[in-house]
Structure 1
């Protein structure tokens, strides 16, 4: 029996190409106009597919935003993890993980806030929603890993603290009062709260 992976069939390639076109179209339109101003019909036209085809890949516009943003957030988390590896100070390492996620969220503020709302209140049975929650879990695992360094914080406490850090970060990004604040201000606010949490 051969262990060499077989190339994807024509049907699978066509599906992937449509998904890529839909993702690219939604990403471009959301970035330019904001998710609230874009219709699924516009996305379908830009992707050169029927509206019904769009709904095969994402049942709602919120799910389309999750599809687009999940890739961005995964990339931001990966950059943060990489940066944190070489930073010995725990607070600085945690902020290295948080920083690119905040910057990703603030690229288009309304889209970032809508993404967080969809993540919290969307249908967890939808695949893109489930993927978003998985990214949150990975973020918390990365933060917990930093907090466990040197054995100052135990496994359970690190997981709890990481969950709290995640909540602080998401509230800072989603809060209406922070809409006009810059990235540096939001990061400073998060940093102050995280510093107060960490064992001294």
Structure 2
């Protein structure tokens, strides 16, 4: 009997999920949707984990399988929005030739996401700085900041006047400018457009003309 040849492994992204994994994914999506709606409506400080579990129609024990504290659950929800915003910005930047304009195409959706609820957005930034880096959703949040810097670096590398080894440093500074502008108390009542213009003005000063 001829021995069948081994088939190449299916790419991970293409492998179908089993029933257990699908159920976990459905519950995760319900948790994110429920928590996100409650956080947006009442603010993170006013929402309890019990309210989130009730709205997601799960037990609190199940809820804590996905995030072991409210702060971690908050990061889970905010990270989900950050991922979508960053993907949107990166896609837009691909079709914009100007460096400043492309940088702002990446930055704008992130700012809009962060300021959809200003106090929640500022809480998220505080968690990034002061949260426990050993917590999984905090690590994910930090990883997103690195991805943001990488996207900004790729845009800066388009400018022939910027040396490749300088682009990464400039991207870190641009990212810091974005986060400081979003977190600043003085900007709490300002519009998204105001914050965007502040960031853009600082980038124009920083980058070669």
Tell whether the structures are fold-level matches, with TM greater than 0.5: yes
> RMSD value over aligned CA atoms?
1.5
**Which structure 2 segments of 5+ residues have no match?**
1-5
1:192 aligns with 2:181: no
Residue of structure 2 aligned with 1:133, choices 117, 134, 142: 142
- 1:97 is matched with 106
Secondary structure of the 2:194 match is: helix
1:39 aligns with 2:48: yes
Report the alpha carbon displacement of residue 6 of structure 1 after superposing the two structures with TM. 5.6
Secondary structure of the 1:181 match is: coil
- Off by >6 Å, runs of 4+ in structure 1: none
The separation in 1 between residues aligned to 2:115 and 2:171, in whole angstroms, is 21
1:60 aligns with 2:69: yes
> Against the structure 1 CA distance between its residues 53 and 156, is the aligned structure 2 distance closer, same or farther, given a 3 Å change threshold?
same
- 1:76 is matched with 85
Report the alpha carbon displacement of residue 47 of structure 1 after superposing the two structures with TM. 1.1
How does the TM-score come out when normalised to structure 1? 0.93
1:169 aligns with 2:181: no
Alignment size in residue pairs: 200
Write out per-residue CA displacement over residues 35-61 of structure 1, whole angstroms, 9 at most, x where no aligned residue. Answer: 111000100111111112211111121
Report the alpha carbon displacement of residue 16 of structure 1 after superposing the two structures with TM. 2.2
Residue of structure 1 aligned with 2:36, choices 23, 27, 33: 27
Of 118-127 and 190-199, the range deviating more from structure 2 = 118-127
> Against the structure 1 CA distance between its residues 9 and 172, is the aligned structure 2 distance closer, same or farther, given a 3 Å change threshold?
same
How does the TM-score come out when normalised to structure 2? 0.90
- 1:85 is matched with 94
- 1:146 is matched with 155
The separation in 1 between residues aligned to 2:34 and 2:159, in whole angstroms, is 46
Write out per-residue CA displacement over residues 72-112 of structure 1, whole angstroms, 9 at most, x where no aligned residue. Answer: 11111111112211222111111111111111111111111
- 1:13 is matched with 22
